Chain A
Amino acid sequence: MHCFQKIIPLGLVLSATCVLGAPTAAQSEFFEKNIRPVLVERCYECHNSGGKAKGDLVLDWRGGWMAGGDSGLLFTPGKPEGSLLLRVLRHQEKDLKMPKDGPKLSAAVVKNFERWIAMGAPDPRLKPPTKEQITKATSWETTLERRKKWWSFQPIRDAKPPKVKGNWAATDIDQFIQAGWSTKNLKPSADAQPEIFIRRLAFALTGLPPTPEETLAFTKAAAINRQSAIENATDRLLASAHFGERWARHWMDWVRYAESLGSEGDPRIPHAAQYRNYLIRALNADVPYDQLLREHIAGDLLPKPRVNANLGLNESAIGPAHYRFFLQGFAPTDALDELVRTTEDQIDVVSKAFLGLTVSCARCHNHKFDAISQRDYHAFYSIMTSTRPATINVDSPARQSINKLELAETKTQIRAALAKRWLLETDKFAQRLLQPDAHLQKAINGAKDARHPLHAWQQLRKVEGGAFTDGWKKAATDFAASAKRLDENRKRPYAQHWQFRNGDAKRWVQNGNGLDGSAAPAGAFRVLPKGERIVEDILPAGVYSHLLSDKHTGWLGSPRFRIGPNETLWVRVRGSGGVMARYVVQNYTRNGTVYPATRLNDGQWRWQKWSLKYWEGDDAHLEISTAGEQAVLTAGNANSWFGVTEALVQKPGQPAPRDEAASEVAPLFDLGQPDSREALAKQYAAALRNSIEAWQRNAMTDAQANFLGHFVRGGLLLNTLNAAPPAAKLVAQYRQLEAAVPVPQRAPGVVEGDARDMPLFIRGSHKQPGEPVPRRFLEAFDAKPFDTKLSGRLELAEAMLQPDNPLVARVIVNRAWHHLFGRGLVATPDNFGKLGELPTHPELMDYLATRFVREGWSLKKLIREMALTRTFQLSAVSTAATREADPDNRLLARAHLRRLEAEAIRDAMLQASGALDRNPLGGSDAFNTNRRSVYVRVIRNNLDPFLTVFDMPVPATAKGRRDETNVPAQSLTLMNDPFVISLAARLAQRVRGDRNLKTAEAQIRSLFRLTLNREPSAQEIAVSQAFLKSGGGRQLVVQKKMKAVRERLSTANAKVASIREPVRKRLLAARKKENGNLKPVGPKPFAAWDFGKGTEDQVGKLNLGLQGGAKVANGALVLDGRGAFARSAPLTKPLRAKTLEAWVQLNNLSQRGGGVLAVQTRNGVLFDAIVFGEQQSGHWMAGSNNFKRTRSMNGPAEKEAMKRPVHVAIVYQADGTIIGYRDGKPYGSPYKMSLQPFSAGDSEVVFGLRHGPGAGNGRMLAGKMIKARLYDRALEPSEVLASAGGNPNYISEKDILAAMTDSQRKQLKELKISLQKLNAEMSALQKTGATSPDPWRDLAQAMFNLKEFIYLQ
């Protein structure tokens, strides 16, 4: 081998001296190990000699890089410094950063390139590769093989714990950890103090802090034997019911648990909480992880489901609920796009949560970095789209079949008894027809439609001889025509046609305990669950959900079909109780503008029709289900049922289907030609007898069933308990059995039965379908298509759990590690691929995974093993040296200090304050519940602000590692949130109310124990006491001052009374004398309306105009809450201080913001109003523009205003004080804001809306007003009382003043001024008092505000 190559470009010649010699063995090895794989993996695709050479650069042989590219020479062998290649790899070139569209090469790899260049760039690739070689090198097969070598795809090794020195390590795990320190020469922290350790353990296992008693017990036990104390505490906490709540919440993060679909309307996912409860139960019961995974993938299909006998639940069937937590848009016009996206979401979650792989990254192309092909993604896509979303019955098989056999058996007996009874009747039927009773006569008269069996009789009963023969001939001709049409209808080449009498029901997807996978033969019937009638109807062949009970569930779906141009869908269906019938486009779960859905309630047969024109080209299916079984569109009815006989897709030009007389009256016409009415009557009897006998034998035709059905429905055969005593007993028995059929328990789920391999979407575009991809697992493990007619989920679950798949076990042990230690061995728990982090302790991970599987996939055992390590005991306190050597604490020589999760912070406050409600399971609650946070509802468009601010994840994707952010909103929440403050108050009360805590110091100690689980230091006690004293001092001063002012006020008030009262009494006596009997009198209003008298102002000029349908009736102004209101003429004088008063009765107490009476500017912008339930539901309030003068009055919730008119008044004083009254008495407490003046001319009074003029719905009042008044001044309390009831003893202030002497008046004026001052002083003091929190509450809140409270050491 000589030094020079033929094609070395001139520029290289000088520098490329003999360093280009044949590589030595060591150099070759270096190249093969460190350079070639990187070139192949990251460069060949774009820089090869086979046709793709971006930037005119080729890197697949030596000559390529030597020639350089458009940007010039890459490097000079032997001289790495400043070379273009290294600059590009280091991303130092502004416009040239390689590799493109991928992560930067690691520093180690770049270093290798530097070394390689330095050693002269030895490269054994002397010739450009052949086309085949290039294809092979860049082919997916080669790439896959290479990528399969990634660590996480390698088999789990049965790693042995390394030998370590000393006696630090207590367990095998510790040995692995200790061994890791040697590289950085780390020394472990000390063991954490017992009270810190127990707090860590309790939070990690249950999400709750230990109680002070538990902490004390633990520290005592630990003092005697630390290891056994830890073991006991661990076992106790693992056995706690709170363990499941804590770990279920982790799991919920992995599967983006949510209770609504998001998007416009944000509809609920019915029964979502059932899944959360399932997780909690399963984790508490330590159900093996492999079983839970199986259940998540295919729990509804398991041949031996896990049954919870106590609850009568099929637990396994709840597992697949997570498929349903995708986000769903509102009425998308591209339904397939929506399906693609929701399915991607499902795949994303399943692959990240259980495999630690980002399979959804391979939707548009093969994965950029991992061993996942685009075909892999589509194999999953085929599996997922072979299911359909639904709400499913998750009762245990036993509960689902309660009394089913007995009901069926009793029904057979009822059929026999009834048939026997009916056959007796047929003997008399001919005679009955000839001499009909009134009931039969009515039926004959009503039989106007040729489909009615008695129609022929109605037509012919009065004719004889030739007329009869002719009449029958005509009827027979019509029948024959109908029969011909019926036959044509059945054979017509519709685009789709399913006739259940032909066995087509077996091709449909059926689910629920009311359906059995096939159609019932003609003659099926239902025994009515109550009432005098026994049988409802005799039914033609079809699928019925209620043949045993209408509490049974039924979900019936047609096969998928592709919609052609201008097609119309028809289904012959009947249903009751909120049955849902709809066509489903691309599995879309909601209804909406172009997604029609029909609820059936009337129980009558109908041909339901939908035009499919809009959806031409899309896949759809038909769904009919009982009320509770739709994915989203459920109704609450426990009793609901449907029946279906036929469905079809009609092509344009084809006639619409209709019910033919031939299918109902054939039993009569098939018997030949009668020659007289007597013969016809006999023929009826015979037809009836044939039909009943066929029913008896359970071998009837549809026509016979329909024929007989007419007689049963019409009451023409004995069908009542009274008339059929032998059946009556059986019916009673049947009804008893049916009553015991339980209402099913339900959960979100998916339904199987219409599997199909779906096309690969080229470049991810659903508009470019390619070849179908079979349902199978990832080709990196097993590319063999599943052998199944179902979706393949069962096979997928088994494939995931195959021993040669190392991911499942590794991923879950890593998740457990992450949640216990605060950082996973792989720090990216959802991504074990190339863009994830590498494991810090790969051997330990394999050791754990091996043991985990060997020990039966027990999460509790796994967690226990981790919790009992010495590593878990390490203190978070560390030396600077440790922190410097291992800043991210990857090697765990100390504990991670971490912030508590949102739920743990909230739960810890609840527990510390004593408010925690420990009731498990059940439904979901509003945020202000005292239950644990895991039970707070998760509504996507209305996520709880407290939990969200502390990083509870938005449910959009798998989230194995939560964010741990620091934002001011968190501080603001802990400083000012009413929930936090109320819990602080409760905590303060708890400590103060504890009789065992006799001193302030004892109480402070208790506060520390309850919040921080430790004793305070002497200094902490001292500063706490000082804090209490400073705050307490403020409080005391205020209280003292208030007492003094209060005394002065009462003295002044007494003085006022001593002057006023004698005058008032004198006047009253005089009036009595004058009138004899006193009439009630009140203060004089500025305007008054009495709706008994009309709409005129009884005092002033503010007459009302009625608008929007408002009316005066029965002495009241009637306001409908939708548009009705009344509006006065403009104010005749400006208003400052004022009083609004009304007598009003409400239509309902749930209305929000309805205005009773408002003074407003004519444009409706500024207003003061009496409103109901505006900011505070169920309460009276002073409404105002933008709530400027609105605040809770803190009065009691209104309870009576629906039953009777109540009196409500609001006084607006000149100083801005606002006082509410109800029934003449003060309502809540006054508050002070600013005063809003209203000018004359452009102000007015409105009734029935908060403010106008053009206000829309929601602000209108629904109720009646009896009368109303407006005062141009602020009334005194006594005046309001007088106005409210009319007070016979009322003497107006004006009259009193007039009757006083001058000196009395002067004295009174002075007194009033001093009263005003005192009142002002009082309200200032009250404000200070109210805003200086109780010092103990203050201290309690301070404890919640401490970082030590929200951080876990």
Chain B
Amino acid sequence: MNTSKILSRRAMLAQCSTGFGLMALQGLMASPAFAGPARKPHFTPRAKHVILCYMSGGASHVDTFDPKPKLKELHGKPMPVKILRTQFNNNGNVMASPFTFKKYGQSGLPVSSLFPHVAESADELAVIRSLTSKVNEHAQGNYAFHTGFPFMGHPTAGAWMTYGLGTENQNLPGFVVLQAGGATVPHGGVGLFSNGYLPAENQGSIIVGDKQPAVRNIQPREADAAQRSRLEFVKGLDTDFIKKIGGDNDVEAAVRNYETAYRMQTAVPELCDLRGETAATKKMYGMDSPNGVTAAYGHQALLARRLVERGVRFVELSCLPEKMGGGQAPNPWDQHGNLKGGHENMARQVDQPIGGLLKDLKGRGLLKDTLVIWAGEFGRTPFSQGSNGRDHNPHGYSVWLAGGGAKGGTVYGATDELGYHATENKSDVYDLWATVLHLMGVDHEELTYRHGGRDLRLTDVHGKVIQKIIN
């Protein structure tokens, strides 16, 4: 699907004479630098962009979007069913949610007191309450969620999207991972954003919204004029080289890459410059919050909207530690102890920014084209770990989709009365991605790449589109 041989040598040579600063003005080039130009989907897409709010560490479903009154009833009593292996093997009794649930919107979708801002958009949410994972550990869970396989080496969902659909902006990567304020990569490392065996232009690029430079090596170490004159010089000799060898598509593409890189040096700072955003907008995202982590997550959420506006295909937001400068940055939702305090801190971090993002997208008419996903690698056990924490629970948990063709105000699937196992419409990450791809206009069984002797897919050999949550 990928081809780097888009521009003819002649066209390239013709452009050589226009020089570096001018290229930026033209901005019309079909460059292969970022996932190739936008490609035709398999069928009419509902969504053009995805924003993944990844709740790293495992947010508890029974405390957020899957109310279980039974837990209150059995609080403090032993689990009435067999407890499967947990990661810490320090299993306590049934633990009621310390949070209250209320019904919101016309749909009456129940949301816990942790997410008052998101709840305001309840009628946009399609909650899947029956997601399951095969693994019970963070790094593997993160890989399984992102790539469909529990280990590094496979392409991540964002890479599959840009591989399948290309990008609409050649000055920015088609797949961006945002960070700000001390957010880090979840357990497993940057391999979570890897193109795997797909062409490298599909890999995720990390943009640290509030840091200089926001992208590795994006900041020139010299004055623009100096850099430009060197690039001109280099281009002159490169052109001679191409002539001398009688033309070569790869070398020509490498020359063009310098132009893209040069333009990126401007495009990224422009993206990150929020001076043009109004105070009201920033407030909506919680950027004025005295809570530093909320402000920083809000910063990411606002950048996500700006990226979507600029045609970026797939954006992933990164959680911060519970508290500014605190620890446990790679898995901040992971409350094995003091679930109440920890989940409160984490919800305070993301609720207003995500709520603001949904409202802002909607207000600007972007939500219909943008699929927002809220999900983590697994849920948490309905019984306690120790006295007041919860262990990992991959047997059934909740994620939600909003916008981009997702049917708002719906609940799909269910866990048992304790919230322990998915019992109704049990689904997995393959179903989720099959559905997301479907909304993007892509048949997940057709999106393949041959590697190591097999035609591989994001959905491996699984996946069914969840039609019931599609508008």
Contacts and interface: CB of A to CB of B under 8 A. Distances in A.
Given A262-B151, A966-B32, A1332 B226 contact: yes
A384 interface: no
A1351 B223 CA distance: 28
B229 interface: yes
Interface in B316-355: 321, 323-327, 330
B251 A831 contact: no
Given A945-B216, A968-B261, A1186-B181, A876 B245 contact: yes
A877 B246 contact: yes
Contacts of B88: 593-594
Given A262-B152, A330-B137, A1023-B236, A1031 B87 contact: no
A327 B326 contact: no
Interface string B242-265: 101111101101110110111011
Nearest to A1165: B292
Contact of A1186 (B84, B210, B222, B231): B210
Contact of B221 (A341, A978, A1034): A978
Interface string B195-219: 0100111010100001110011111
Contacts of B201: 965-967
Contacts of A1027: 229-230, 233
B326 A1255 contact: yes
B33 interface: yes
Interface stretch (B108-116, B430-438, B450-458): B450-458
Contacts of A333: 84-87, 136-137
Contacts of B191: 262, 940-941, 954
Interface centre among B32, B220, B221, B236 (most CB of A within 10 A): B221
Given A965-B201, A1332-B222, A327 B181 contact: no
A1027 B327 CA distance: 51
Nearest to A957: B153
Nearest to A1020: B237
A263 B139 contact: yes
B254 A1341 contact: no
Contacts of A332: 135-137, 140
Given A975-B258, A1027-B233, A1347-B255, A957 B452 contact: yes
B241 A1347 contact: yes
B78 to A, nearest CB: 16
Contact of B217 (A369, A879, A975, A1165): A975
A657 interface: no
Given A897-B250, A940-B191, A972-B261, A1256 B138 contact: no
A582 B255 CA distance: 57
B425 interface: no
A972 B213 CA distance: 12
Interface in A104-121: none
Contact of B137 (A331, A981, A1258): A331
A352 interface: yes
A266 B189 contact: yes
Interface in B281-338: 290-292, 295, 321, 323-327, 330
Interface residues of A, number: 94
Contact of B260 (A945, A971, A1023): A971
B221 A329 contact: no
A1187 B323 CA distance: 18
A860 interface: no
Nearest to A1153: B325
Nearest to B258: A971
A954 to B, nearest CB: 6
A352 B453 CA distance: 11
Contact of B233 (A331, A963, A1023, A1187): A1023
Interface centre among A830, A836, A941 (most CB of B within 10 A): A941
Given A262-B151, A899-B250, A1023-B237, A1187 B200 contact: no
Given A329-B137, A897-B250, A968-B260, A835 B454 contact: yes
A972 B217 contact: yes
B390 interface: no
Given A262-B139, A1256-B326, A594 B89 contact: yes
B325 A1256 contact: yes
B324 A1255 contact: yes
Nearest to A1327: B223
Interface in B73-124: 84-89
B325 A1328 contact: no
A880 interface: yes
B227 interface: yes
A720 B231 CA distance: 80
B194 A954 contact: yes
A831 B220 contact: no
A1164 B289 CA distance: 11
A831 B453 CA distance: 7
A331 B330 CA distance: 17
Given A971-B258, A1030-B229, A1255-B326, A1332 B223 contact: yes
A1251 B187 contact: no
Interface string A1316-1335: 00000000000010011100
Contacts of A945: 216
Nearest to A1026: B233
Contacts of A358: 452-454
Contact of A361 (B87, B236, B321, B454): B454
Interface centre among B181, B210, B220, B257 (most CB of A within 10 A): B257
A61 to B, nearest CB: 31
A1259 B205 contact: no
A1341 B199 CA distance: 28
Interface in A870-896: 876-880, 883
Given A831-B452, A831-B453, A976-B217, A1163 B290 contact: yes
Nearest to A981: B221
Nearest to A835: B453
A1163 B292 contact: yes
A1258 B327 contact: yes
B242 to A, nearest CB: 8
B30 interface: no
B200 to A, nearest CB: 4
A1353 interface: yes
Interface string A612-634: 00100000000000000000000
Contacts of B251: 897, 1347, 1351
A1342 interface: yes
Contacts of B240: 1020
B279 interface: no
Contacts of A3: none
A972 B218 contact: yes
B443 to A, nearest CB: 10
Nearest to B219: A976
A668 B111 CA distance: 76
Contact of B244 (A831, A877, A972): A877
A1347 B12 CA distance: 15
A1341 B222 CA distance: 12
B42 to A, nearest CB: 10
A1289 interface: no
B313 to A, nearest CB: 16
A940 B189 contact: yes
A1114 B173 CA distance: 57
B4 interface: yes
B222 A880 contact: no
Interface string A1220-1260: 00000000000000000000000000000011001111110
14 contacts: A263-B151, A329-B139, A329-B150, A333-B137, A361-B452, A593-B89, A835-B453, A876-B245, A899-B250, A966-B200, A972-B217, A1251-B325, A1345-B258, A1346-B237
Closest 4 CB pairs of A and B: A956-B153, A941-B189, A1256-B326, A971-B261
Given A594-B87, A940-B152, 18 more contacts: A263-B137, A327-B151, A330-B138, A332-B137, A341-B150, A358-B453, A831-B453, A879-B246, A897-B250, A966-B250, A967-B33, A969-B261, A971-B262, A975-B261, A976-B220, A1163-B292, A1187-B211, A1259-B325
